[in-house]
């Protein structure tokens, strides 16, 4: 992740675009900047580090909801414990990046403060979301952010920032006391109304018609709803996670509601019930959760035989493997990176289906989604040994890095399924496009952190009669 060069200052001139109020706010900013020359303050106070959540369900997952509540609590605590001027602009060794928010166009160049960007809109959420997107680009994702507004709008912007910024961004709001204010965009809403405004606004961002569902020829569509997707059609804005990132973590620029909207769009495009969607909480191992039983803290696979329940796993180079039992209607999904592949996670998934639902491998259809190809993935020989022992052709020496070996993760999982009894002609790899080579998909190897995640999903429409 690149070092952030500067601090973002968002100046709200949209709440009241009268010359009087604009003058009061910009003059306050100018005076504060002028006073910094002799100030000993060293910058924005940093918020406490928020523990990373599990890579699990958004909206239907208590883990993510609790993490968002913890972030909100820490932000509120930060405002309470700082001194009276903590919300104002502080001295920084790095440059300020000013963004002006306005309802209308006017002669911005006559204002007494510098600025790098003007955003004009009659929608508060549109203004803040576009400002966040700009600041994620420069100074850079995770930079400190201060919003300057009038005192009467301070609470609104604090609530909005909780939802619009991810925990990686430290923000504060400075409410400048102004006189004779007439709110140009109407009275500010508070609490859950702000959340609803942002949720509805996100539905207008981007083009949901671009969501592209990739189906498998091996899995019968009349009995199962299964597939993968690419990175288009969502609302994520930061380049390496744009635009259909499906996983929320504290190191990514996407707040919870952005991931929720992306998942909502996939559910609509694929035709499954968002409320019955479960996503693995990956740990790069082989723990499998059976829906309806006690949920482990972490797990890389999920199985169920309940019609309408959609189970999903994320990938961004790692293999995502879907299994469908045409006789019992049971389904499973597993996330298998190099660790999961060498630990035979797909065998653990199949074995769980055998134990729980009486699945016979001969009745299983399988599909593997977008994954990094062996030409672009290397390991230490000792790490790749379980796969080399399985089939020596699955690994080969690297010409560029002689101390490492390439490993074919996709074929390694195919071999495991074949040896477990799944007929090879029922194992579909047509969607196992190389994520590193194909920018249609997210790739950790190619993009580094933060990176996005696509999902593989499967559900049983009906049990076999």
The domains of the chain, with CATH numbers, are 7-45+82-202 (3.40.50), 208-373+408-460 (3.60.140.10)
Question: E strands along 231-299, which residues?
Answer: 277-279, 288-290
Do 430 and 216 form a contact (C-beta atoms < 8 A)?
Answer: yes
Q: How far apart are the first and last CA of the chain?
A: 53
Q: Are strands 145-150 and 7-12 parallel, antiparallel or unpaired?
A: parallel
Half-sphere exposure at residue 391, Cβ-oriented, CA atoms within 13 angstroms: 15
pLDDT-derived band at 76, boundaries 50, 70, 90: very low
Do 211 and 234 form a contact (C-beta atoms < 8 A)?
Answer: yes
83 has pLDDT over 80:
no
Question: How much of the chain is helix, strand and coil, in % rounded to 5?
Answer: 35, 20, 45
Strand order in the sheet with 427-428: 288-290, 301-304, 331-336, 319-325, 364-368, 427-428
pLDDT at 253: 95
pLDDT at 65: 44
Of the candidates 185, 229, 228, 234, the one whose C-alpha atom is nearest the C-alpha of residue 209 is 234
pLDDT at 86: 43
346 has pLDDT over 70:
yes
26 has pLDDT over 90:
yes
Least confident of 51-55, 142-146, 206-210, 412-416: 51-55
For residue 182, count other CB atoms closer than 10 A to its CB: 10
Give the mean pLDDT of 395-416.
Answer: 98
pLDDT-derived band at 89, boundaries 50, 70, 90: low
Q: Where are the alpha helices (DSSP H) in 142-291?
A: 154-164, 192-202, 256-270
Measured CA to CA, the distance from residue 444 to residue 442 in angstroms comes to: 7
pLDDT at 62: 47
Per-residue pLDDT tens over the stretch 103-154: 999 889 899 988 989 999 999 999 999 999 999 998 888 889 999 999 999 9
SS3 at position 255: coil
pLDDT at 173: 96
SS3 at position 9: strand
Least confident of 58-67, 205-214, 340-349: 58-67
Of the candidates 453, 450, 433, the one whose C-alpha atom is nearest the C-alpha of residue 442 is 453
Least confident of 5-19, 25-39, 222-236, 327-341: 25-39
pLDDT at 75: 40
Angle between helices 62-81 and 154-164 (to 10 degrees): 140
45 has pLDDT over 50:
no
Half-sphere exposure at residue 349, Cβ-oriented, CA atoms within 13 angstroms: 35
SS3 at position 209: helix
Share of the chain above pLDDT 90, in %: 75
1 has pLDDT over 90:
no
pLDDT-derived band at 49, boundaries 50, 70, 90: very low
Average pLDDT over the chain reads 88
């Amino acid at each position: 992740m690149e070092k952030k060069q500067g601090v973002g200052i968002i100046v709200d001139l949209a709440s009241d675009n009268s010359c009087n109020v604009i003058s009061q706010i910009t003059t306050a900013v100018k005076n504060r900047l002028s006073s910094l020359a002799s100030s000993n303050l060293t910058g924005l106070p940093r918020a406490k580090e928020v523990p990373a959540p599990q890579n699990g369900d958004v909206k239907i997952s208590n883990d993510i909801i609790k993490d968002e509540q913890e972030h909100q609590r820490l932000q509120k605590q930060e405002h309470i414990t700082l001194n009276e001027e903590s919300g104002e602009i502080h001295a920084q060794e790095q440059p300020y990046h000013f963004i002006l928010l306005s309802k209308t166009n006017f002669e911005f160049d006559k204002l007494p403060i510098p600025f790098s960007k003007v955003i004009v809109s009659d929608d508060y959420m549109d203004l803040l979301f576009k400002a966040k997107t700009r600041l994620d680009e420069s100074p850079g994702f995770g930079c400190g952010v201060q919003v300057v507004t009038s005192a009467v709008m301070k609470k609104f912007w604090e609530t909005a920032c909780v939802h619009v910024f991810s925990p990686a961004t430290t923000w504060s709001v400075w409410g400048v006391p102004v006189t004779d204010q007439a709110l140009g965009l109407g009275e500010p809403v508070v609490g859950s109304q702000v959340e609803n405004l942002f949720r509805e606004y996100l539905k207008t961002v981007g083009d949901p018609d671009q969501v592209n569902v990739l189906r498998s020829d091996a899995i019968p569509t009349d009995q199962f709803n299964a597939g993968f997707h690419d990175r288009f059609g969502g609302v994520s804005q930061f380049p390496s996670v744009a635009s259909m990132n499906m996983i929320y973590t504290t190191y990514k620029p996407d707040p919870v509601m952005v991931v929720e909207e992306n998942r909502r769009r996939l559910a609509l495009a694929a035709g499954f019930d968002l409320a019955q969607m479960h996503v693995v909480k990956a740990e790069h191992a082989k723990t499998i959760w059976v829906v309806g039983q006690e949920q482990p803290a972490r797990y890389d696979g999920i199985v169920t035989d309940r019609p309408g329940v959609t189970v999903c796993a994320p990938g961004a180079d790692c293999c995502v493997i879907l299994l469908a039992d045409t006789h019992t209607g049971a389904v499973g999904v597993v996330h298998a990176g190099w660790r999961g592949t060498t630990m035979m996670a797909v065998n653990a998934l199949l074995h769980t289906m055998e134990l729980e639902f009486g699945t016979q491998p001969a009745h299983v259809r399988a599909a593997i989604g977008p994954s990094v190809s062996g030409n672009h993935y290397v390991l230490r020989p000792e790490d790749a040994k379980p796969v080399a022992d399985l089939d020596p052709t699955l690994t080969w020496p690297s010409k560029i890095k002689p101390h490492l070996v390439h490993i074919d993760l996709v074929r390694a999982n195919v071999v495991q399924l074949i040896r477990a009894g799944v007929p090879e002609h029922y194992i579909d790899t047509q969607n196992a496009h190389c994520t590193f080579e194909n920018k249609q998909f997210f790739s950790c190897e190619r993009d580094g952190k933060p990176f996005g995640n696509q999902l593989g999903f499967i559900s049983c429409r009906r049990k076999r009669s």
